[in-house]
Amino acid sequence: MKFEQVLQLVNAVSGSALTEFKYEEGGVKISMKKAAEGTVEQSSLHGPILGLETKTEESADTSDVQAHEMESAAGSAEEKESGQVVTSPLVGTFYAAPAEDADPFVQVGDQVKKGQVLAIIEAMKLMNEIESDFSGEVVKVLVENGKPVEYGQPLFVIKE
């Protein structure tokens, strides 16, 4: 397998929904595992043609990632000025309602009290209730229902 073919394979796996890919042909073994969206980690890549073993990451265009991070930081600064931000205490899947057919716990414009349940984050099949740290009005819901969230990610803006 030629180096150009390996690059094409990496790009194909990066653009797909696959999370893991293994390939073996004539003594060449390639094993790829997606480490994050847009990133493919090559855990082992060796054989007589390449004659080397690597551990590298192919990333999405870093300027796009940096621009997105700068926009997020600017948005966070604006949100903090207009109210208190409730952040995610863990990594998981955000759910705005207790069930698919149920109404959301809170919506923009609702008054909430400290300790009131705002949402649920599912992590490892456990449903974790996210409670408000503040009393006030929900100004903004920053995450869509069913979307993954990271630790520390802003979820709600509440104006006291």
Residues 115-138 pLDDT 10s = 999 999 999 989 999 999 999 999
Mean pLDDT for the chain overall: 75
Cross-strand partners of 45: 30
Alpha carbon of residue 129 to chain centroid: 19
pLDDT digits (tens, 9 = 90+) for 17-69: 777 777 777 777 777 776 554 444 444 444 444 444 444 444 444 444 444 44
pTM: 0.51
Name the E strands within 8-159.
20-25, 28-36, 39-46, 56-58, 84-87, 92-95, 111-112, 117-123, 126-131, 136-141, 148-149, 154-159
